[in-house]
Amino acid sequence: MNDPLKDFVERNREEFDQLDAPQFNLDLFKKQKEVPVQQKTKPAFLQIGRWVAAAAILLMVGGSFLIFRTSSTKHLNTQAAATKKAQPVQVVPDLKEPVKARVATVAPGRSGDITASRNVDLAQVSKNVYVAEKVDQLTDSSSASNRLALILEIDKSGYISEHMINRLAKTLERDGNSNVRLAALNVMGKYKDDAHVSALLIKSLNSQNDPLVQLELVRVLGTMNNATVDDRLYALVNDPNTLDAVKDEAYMVLMKENKQ
């Protein structure tokens, strides 16, 4: 059986005999023996896990920053609000507080000049001006209810002037409606201690022929300490045209004064 390797050696024996063995190189041999250490590659799932962990950390840091920023903003807003509350605020005067002004008037039940002045608030002043401008409507003969309403408005305002008193005195003396005259007398009676008002009331008693108004006039004048009043009461008692009820009232006033 032919051996190809043997045949090859036999054919080239001469060449094999002439060749020298190469010089042994120990360093090269060691290098060839050393197996190169392959760098271990980390599994892909480990790398993905690290990316996920890094992303989670970033989210946590970002969320914490947002929470901290929100809390800081709320805290700053709270501090700003507290600081704002703590700062002194200019006190605006309450509108309910009356702003005083000088107005010509006289208070009910007080003696003195009818034009004496006292303090009232500005809102009331405006209303008083409105009432004072309407007082001339007391001469309107078309409606007794309108005249009565105006007198009640004057009484409610608490404001009076000499012009208004004069208008009321004319109403007391000349108005054709008993209720209107009694309303005018009621307002004037609140200022009876004023010299001008008392003079007008006494004058009205001279010309008054309405028994109801006469009776009320006697009651008002009976509270006044005035010699002229007494003279008028005596004249009223002795007048045969005076109603008995009016005479009795006048007589009672005179008796009370005589006992004092």
Beta pairing class for 100-104 and 117-121: antiparallel
Average pLDDT over residues 89-105: 35
Which amino acid is present at 193? D
Pick 142 or 103 by higher pLDDT.
142
Q: Could you tell me if 180 and 227 lie in one domain?
A: no
Q: Which residues pair with 117 in a beta bridge?
A: 104
d(CA 159, CA 117): 11
- Specify if 76 maps to a domain: no
Among the three residues 162, 194, 226, which one is the final residue of a domain in this structure?
194
Q: Are residues 119 and 189 in the same domain?
A: yes
Last residue of a domain, one of 154, 172, 194: 194
pTM for the model stands at: 0.52
Instruction: Please report whether residue 66 resides in a domain.
Output: no
Clarify whether residues 190 and 212 are in a common domain. no
Residue 102: pLDDT above 50? no
Would you state the pLDDT for residue 181?
93
Give the least confident one: 82-91, 142-151, 185-194. Answer: 82-91
Question: Can you read off the two tokens belonging to residue 67?
Answer: 């929470």
The answer to whether 160 and 129 have CB atoms below 8 angstroms apart is no
Residue 154 lies in a domain: yes
The answer to whether residue 63 is domain-embedded is no
Q: Is the separation of the CB atoms in 176 and 142 below 8 Å?
A: no
Q: Is the same domain home to 145 and 173?
A: yes
Domain span at residue 237? 208-260
Q: How many CB atoms lie within 10 A of CB 164?
A: 22
d(CA 79, CA 246): 80
Final residue in a domain of this structure, among 144, 161, 194: 194
| Whether residue 213 sits in one domain with residue 178 | no
Judge whether 50 lies within some domain: no
Residues 167 and 106 in one domain: yes
Q: How many domains does the chain have?
A: 2
Query: 36 in a domain, yes or no?
Result: no
Residue 42 has pLDDT above 80, yes or no: no
Domain membership flag for residue 226:
yes
In this predicted structure, what is the pLDDT of residue 18?
Answer: 55
Residues 194, 162 contacting (CB under 8 angstroms): no
45: which residues sit within 8 A by CB, 6+ positions away?
A: none
**Tokens standing for residue 151:** 């007198």
Same domain, 147 and 234: no
**With 70 as the cut, is the pLDDT of residue 104 above it?**
no
Beta bridge partners of 101: 120
Lowest mean pLDDT among 63-72, 161-170, 181-190: 63-72
Same domain, 180 and 221: no
Burial (0-12, 13-18, 19+ Cβ within 10 Å), 21? exposed
pLDDT in tens, 193-240: 898 999 999 999 888 888 999 999 999 988 887 778 888 888 888 988
Q: Say yes or no to pLDDT of 153 above 50.
A: yes
Give me the mean pLDDT over the 26-54 stretch.
Answer: 57
Residue 243 lies in a domain: yes
